[in-house]
Structure formats: structure tokens, C-alpha cells
Amino acid sequence: MPAQGQLAGPATAPQALQGFAGTADIQLDLPGGYASPEARNYPTQLATSEVSRWFADAGEDLTVSMHNENIDDSGWITMIPYFLTLGILPSWVTTKGETVMEVKAGDQVLFQNREPVQYKSALSMLLPTSYLVGSPGTEQYEVMTNDQLNRHKQALQQFIQSQQAGYESAVSAGTVDAYRQYLNNNPESFFRMETLRRLAELAPATHALPYHRDNIAIDSAYIVYLPDEYDIWFLGPQDMKVYDVLRLSRDEDNTLLASRIRAAKQPYKVFNTDEIALLKEGGLSSNLIAAMIDASASSQPGPTPAPPAVASAAAQPAGTPAESPAQNSMSDIAAQCAKRYAAFKACDQVPSFGANICRSQVKKKYSHIACELIQ
């Protein structure tokens, strides 16, 4: 019987963890008493098997750890009758302590719960009098481990539900201002990435670039949820991607900036009519767009550069009016990989736990094998 008096009811695995790749770090070997070597390791094996199933797959987004603390054995005085009767009377030890569960993102502890644990173990010889204290084998240890897991799961579910209630209350208006205010007030919220996703869903149908720019200014991880048609903003070499050119154009002479782009001869893309219209809508001048097209047309094929400078595999010869389907495909892949890299860099700026959620979302959205190989 557990220290609480009765076994905890069955609890389901936390659904909130199913969106992450995680690791189980379990150290629940029985620390005291008379358990056999095989039985001592059984709780660790059992808990590791279950906790590993809480995640979508193995990875480093989150770690669930469990270990024993404050262990104390009592009852060693029963060794006296044990020796006096040559082992006929059993010696039993009561072991008390705590099991501690932590959910961590890197070194940051997001959740911690402690549960008291208590068990008896007995030793006898000649006669099976130790059966008066308990049953042999691992059956009782399995009951004890499952009881501890259920208690920790219930506490974790309550924690997540309380966080969810606070979040839904804060954004109950469902407006852009409500979500942005929540981001400003809760930089380390469990629901930060969910808030960004909802903001992306509220984007206007047309002329949405200023809206997206404002959200990125609030939280750079918003880049994860940008629509695919905005991928062209992430083409180009490191520190001179299209969105960098837009930023620099506000403070630098555009003619000189265009000359720098041409002189670098780093490929962007020979933009089509729709893409040029989108770039102009975002605030880029015709002079800068032409410079990026010229740089793409004059660049020569070469070995694949190291990230983050993601270039198209084949450059367009000067004077060619349009890209071939293969070149278009490579440009699209380049845009996806560039955006993936930029998204990961944005995740680095997200405080603590939010960074792990951010990276998890980036991996799901940008999974092209070429991006995996070069980044």
C-alpha cells in the first residue's frame, strides 16, 4: 500500500508532449531494502518504457527525468530475531523516500513534482516466512512504479490544464491585439508558438507583408509560420538575404546598395512577375530588385556553399529571359532551405522553453532532405 493510503487511479499520457521529440532519463533503481539485483532495476526499466512513449519520437526537444530522493531505511532491528532464529523469522526493512519527476527543456526545469514512496522488503531462510510481509518477484514493484507514474502524470496534466486556462483567458478576445499583448506579457509561455500560429491565421488576405513584419518584430520565431509565397524574402547570401536588403535600404543609399549586390555576384533568383510585385509591395525598389536579378544572372555555377548562404545549384546565363523548370525547382528548394536556416536562427532568440518548441515546429515544416544535408 502506498504512503498515501491507496493506489492512484490510472492516468493517460500527457497529450501536450505528443508534439515533441523527447528523451526519458529515468533512475528509479530500488535504493534500499532486500530487493534482488534484478528487481532493483525493474522500476527504471518499466518507467523508461512508458515515458518514452509520451513523445512523438526520440529527440532533444524535452527531457522527462525521474529519480529517487531522501531515501531512508528503517527496521534493521529485525535482524536480531532473524539471526537468533537462524533465519526462520524474517527480517524486514521499510524504505521511505520520494520520487521526483522533472520536465526540462535543456537545463531549464519547466515542471517538477514530488511524490512520497514507501515499500517493505523482507529476508528469510529455511522457511518462507518472508511471504508474511509481501510476495516474491517484481509484481509488487510494478504496482508501486505504476502508482508513482500515475501520480506524476496527474500532477503534470493539472499543471498543463492550469496553464491552458490562463492562456485561453488572456486571448479570449481572439484579436490580433490580444495575441500580441500576450506575447509581450509572457515571453516564456508554454503556448508562445501556438500564439504565433494563431496570429499567422489572422493575416489579411492581401497586402499582408506589413502585418507579418510587425509580428516578426514582436517575436522573430514568427518566421516559422510565414506563408510559402514569402519564401523569396529568405533567398540570398548570409547577412544579405532579400529581407536584409530591405532592412538596409531604409538607412543606406539604394544606388550604392545595388552596386554592392552586383559586385558580390551572389545568386538570389531571376524573379518572375508575381515575385517582383510581391517584393515591390514589401518596399523594395526596382533598382534593388534589378541588382539581385543581375547578380543571379551573372553568377557562375560552383560547389555548394556552406550554410547559411544557400544558393541555387545552377545560375542563369546572362540574357536568358526565364529559368528552366529544373532551375525553378532548385530555386524553390534554396528558398525553403534558406527559410529553414533563418527560422532556426530566429528560434535561438526565443527565451528558454519557447526555443525548443520553435525548433520542433521548424523541423516539421521544413523537412526537405537537401536542407538536412547542408545545414
Largest CA distance in the chain: 103
Q: What is the pLDDT of residue 320?
A: 40
Could you give the CA distance from residue 237 to residue 267 in angstroms, rounded to a whole number?
8
Q: What is the pLDDT of residue 104?
A: 87
CA angle (183 as vertex; 214, 160 as ends), nearest 5? 145
**Which residues make up the CATH 3.30.160 domain(s) of the chain?**
15-164
What pTM was computed for the model? 0.59
Label each residue of 59-85 as H, E or C.
Answer: CCCEEEEEEEEEEEEECHHHHHHHHHC
| 60 contacts: CB under 8 Å, gap ≥ 6 | 21, 22, 23, 356
Q: What is the pLDDT of residue 121?
A: 79
* pLDDT tens per residue across all 375 residues of the chain: 556 668 888 999 888 788 778 899 999 998 777 777 778 899 999 999 999 999 988 887 789 999 999 999 898 888 898 888 877 788 888 889 999 999 987 777 888 999 999 888 777 776 665 555 556 667 888 989 999 999 999 999 998 888 888 899 999 999 999 999 999 998 777 788 789 889 999 999 887 878 887 887 788 778 778 887 777 887 888 788 888 898 899 889 999 999 999 999 888 888 889 889 988 988 899 999 999 999 988 865 544 444 444 333 333 444 444 444 444 455 565 566 666 666 666 666 655 555 666 666 676 666 554 454 444
Could you give the CA distance from residue 11 to residue 152 in angstroms, rounded to a whole number?
9
Q: Indicate the class that CATH gives domain 15-164.
A: alpha beta
The H-assigned helical ranges of 202-305 are 209-218, 242-249, 254-264, 273-282, 286-298
Number of other residues whose CB lies within 10 A of the CB of residue 237: 20
| 205 contacts: CB under 8 Å, gap ≥ 6 | none
Q: What is the pLDDT of residue 11?
A: 92
